[in-house]
Chain A
Amino acid sequence: MGRFALYVPLVLFAILTLFLLKGLDRDPSELPSALVGEAFPAFALPSLMDEQRLITENDLASQVTLVNVWATWCFACRIEHPMLNKLAANGVAIVGINYKDQNQPAHQWLEQRGNPYQFNIVDASGSLGFDLGVTGAPETYLVDARGIIRYRRVGVVDQRIWDEEFSALYQQLMSDVK
């Protein structure tokens, strides 16, 4: 027993190495892209600013939209927020999904950090998030004017990621509309 026990750490490390090796091929912030190329799932959920109003997938159609999944409990969203403000100031249409959150802190958040969103969908139970396959916040979807999801990013969108992954596609979708 004594001598075999000495091999236990080595075996555990070998297993760990296998996982690390496989994990290297995966970008943790990349999508399982089931929905890319598909229509935005159907939903009918209240608006954050006006809880009487119901928003549906039809509200996304007719313009190229960036759909951003966020929550006040999400630390990375704090980092992402200034970038969203900047994009909104540059004329990008952004719609928020306030994901598994409470309305009161969400209002405070927007009051404090600025509101880059045209409107916010309240997804308190996470049902829309489930249909979208949301794994956490933040997540960002680029939806074209016909309501088709064209790109998905898991994790923070910053200037670099916008330039590298979104910008060209966004410009192209915008010119398609015109």
Chain B
Amino acid sequence: MIAELGHFALIIGLCFALMQSLVPMIGSFKGYSSWMRLGYSLSLGQLFFVAISFVCLVCAFLMDDFSLKYVSQNSNTDLPAHYKVSAVWAAHEGSLLLWALILAGWTASVALFSRALPLVFSARILAVLGAISVGFGLFLLFTSNPFERLLPMTPLQGSDLNPLLQDIGLIIHPPMLYMGYVGFAVPFAFAIAALIGGQFDSAWARWSRPWINLAWVFLTLGITLGSWWAYYELGWGGWWFWDPVENASLMPWLVGTALMHSVAATEKRGVFRSWTLLLAIFAFSLSLLGTFLVRSGILTSVHAFAADPERGVFMLMFLAIVIGGSLMLFALRGPAMQKVAAYQGLSREAMLLINNVLLVSSMVMILIGTLYPLVADVLELGKISVGPPYFNFFFVPLSMGLVIAMGIAVFTRWKATASALLMSKIPLPLIIATASGIILPFVLRADSYVGYSVTAGLTLFLTAWLLATIGIDLKDKIGINLTRIAKLSRSYLGMQLAHSGIAICVLGVGLNAAYDEIRELRMAPGQSAMVADYQFDFVGVNRVSGPNFEAYRGQVNVLKNNAPVANLFPEKRQYNAGGQVMTEAALDPSLARDIYVSMGEPLADGAWALSLQVKPFIRCIWLGGVMIGLGGLLAATDRRYRRRKKPSPIMECNNG
């Protein structure tokens, strides 16, 4: 019954979306203000019904209603309740429903917070968002209905949630990521509305900026969480694999980052107008493309989703309509490419251009690497896979260029920067960075790590460079009186926080690459091993039982200079329902280093294969990611965006 209610609510939600895509749009052309205003209530109604539908699916999971095919495939009576909830978005159908819910949520917030926009404009935004909802609604109902019944052959027990997904990281990671993906629908809708109306100016840029920032914040946090989850859950200590699914999330992030920066230039100086529009379209298009690549099974990936050609065709049609249509509109209506405001080579505009070129190049090379196996296959060039060496070869230098440019950009001014100013600012951070790059690796080595590493030197150079430029710019702005920091605008502080986050993240990536130590050993109980200067004592293995699994739990005591550091309990679990064997790594985390122990296979005579790892500064990767996200959030809450504007003449006329 509940499932039927959910199914029905979803259909009503689709009807609302259909109305929302048509009524305000027609009204905006005919000048019917009541039709346009209907968009607000329709979007709230849509959210209401999609939310009911989602809650119904959650209830079906909590009540173990295995007559639903989706529930029986992804849940089990033994599954703890919180995992039953997260199992809702563990596979295709439920993920898509979550997508629809989040899209409805974003749409409703646009309706609530954009009342100050000109009515014609906001009506079109809501209509575009409604049209996207229609696409997803149809996709859900016709190819991926989570409310499909298994009658009369109802199974008594479900086949359980994939153990890899039974984890706190997987409860929050997908919703965050989807918030980001779907959030880019908002700037996309802003761009389409601007193209339809032909109105694209700095007001447009100012309205869309907080939405771009918010979507980007969620995507940043989602990617960070995903990387963290992969690190501790996949059981071998890597944190990024250049897997197609990861690339699918990184590409919209890179374009979104470029968009954030180019829209700033558009707002302040009116430059890069068509480029900004194009990026807004691209950011959402890449989100859709990513979803398509992941869901259609067109690429092989370690993230195993069921491939279904019917879904693939449907999604490709949807993609062609949304992306093709918007690019066509862009071609027909886009502002011509000429520059409206002049700027010079050393200006902030030029630095933002460099930023955009580097970010978009990174995106393009990831796109090529991700799609090349497919293209090669279609062109009969054979089956090829593109691995981390390709991605690192391009991505690492491009990122280095970005970090260096970021440090210079902070000193530049709009329109033109006196070269004397730059010459006076740059030497100090350059000296600090060079000194750090040369000296610090030796300091770190004194703490036991291996000799001078070029990777570590470069990393420390880049981190110190970025932090020093940020520090110097802050000092220029507020002097040494730190209380005056509150006087700075939130968008400035947000920028500096996010850029510092990049520095921290670079530090984690580089030092971990340079110094991480891994030993894979056969150890019998009572044996010890040294990794870096930590001593690992393997105490032994017990059998333990979890709610839905049996496990071997090892105990490894870690000591440094004979002082105890941590007692770690890695596990080898066997899940009751599917029989899958999972490795649960045990960690002793700290900012300067992680100690990571995971269990391999049992060997003869009670011995086990163990992987012992010391990973310096790896936590900085995610700390940096969180800082980047918080920086974006801070910038999104800048006072400028919250100020209620006086109604513009157009609005008054429409309201009247």
Contact = CB atoms under 8 A, between A and B. Distances in A.
Contact of A154 (B236, B328, B383): B383
A108 B603 CA distance: 12
A24 B331 contact: no
Contacts of A111: 522, 600-601, 603, 609
30 contacts: A2-B338, A3-B336, A9-B281, A9-B331, A10-B330, A19-B371, A20-B319, A22-B378, A23-B298, A23-B374, A24-B296, A27-B297, A28-B297, A28-B298, A28-B299, A28-B383, A75-B302, A76-B302, A78-B236, A85-B601, A111-B522, A111-B601, A112-B600, A112-B609, A112-B611, A113-B601, A114-B602, A135-B382, A135-B384, A156-B304
Nearest to A10: B327
Given A10-B328, A10-B330, A136-B383, 11 more contacts: A7-B331, A16-B371, A23-B378, A26-B378, A28-B300, A75-B241, A111-B601, A112-B611, A114-B602, A135-B383, A156-B304
A79 interface: yes
Contacts, number: 108
A17 interface: yes
A28 B337 contact: no
A24 B383 contact: no
Contacts of B603: 111
Contact-size category for A: 35 or more
A54 interface: no
A11 B281 CA distance: 15
Contact of B601 (A10, A21, A26, A114): A114
Contacts of A159: 578
B337 A17 contact: no
A82 interface: yes
Contact-size category for B: 35 or more
A5 interface: yes
Interface string B600-639: 1111000001110000000000000000000000000000
Interface in B283-323: 285, 292, 296-300, 302, 304, 307, 309, 312-313, 316, 319-320, 323
B385 interface: yes
B201 interface: no
A18 to B, nearest CB: 9
A14 B327 CA distance: 10
B274 interface: yes
Interface in A51-80: 75-76, 78-79
B58 to A, nearest CB: 27
Contacts of A75: 241, 302
B327 A24 contact: no
Nearest to B274: A6
Interface string A149-163: 000001110110000
Contact of B298 (A24, A78, A112, A156): A24
Contacts of A85: 601
Nearest to A5: B337
Contact of B581 (A13, A27, A82, A135): A82
Closest 3 CB pairs of A and B: A112-B609, A112-B600, A114-B601
A55 to B, nearest CB: 24
Given A2-B337, A5-B337, A13 B324 contact: yes
Contacts of B338: 2
A19 B292 CA distance: 13
Interface in B358-399: 371, 373-375, 377-378, 382-385
Contact of B377 (A7, A28, A113, A158): A28
B329 to A, nearest CB: 9
Contacts of A5: 337
Nearest to A20: B316
A109 to B, nearest CB: 8
B334 interface: yes
A23 B581 CA distance: 34
Contact of B600 (A14, A29, A113): A113
Interface string A102-123: 0000001001111000000000
A9 B330 contact: yes
A91 to B, nearest CB: 17
A17 B324 contact: yes
A1 B336 CA distance: 9
Nearest to B373: A28
Given A6-B331, A23-B298, A28-B300, A17 B320 contact: yes
B400 to A, nearest CB: 26
B116 interface: no
B313 A24 contact: yes
Interface in A85-144: 85, 108, 111-114, 135-136
Contacts of A16: 371
A163 to B, nearest CB: 13
A135 to B, nearest CB: 4
Which of B278, B300, B312 is packed against the most chain A CB atoms within 10 Å? B300
Contacts of A156: 304
B383 A32 contact: yes
A6 B191 CA distance: 15
A154 B578 CA distance: 24
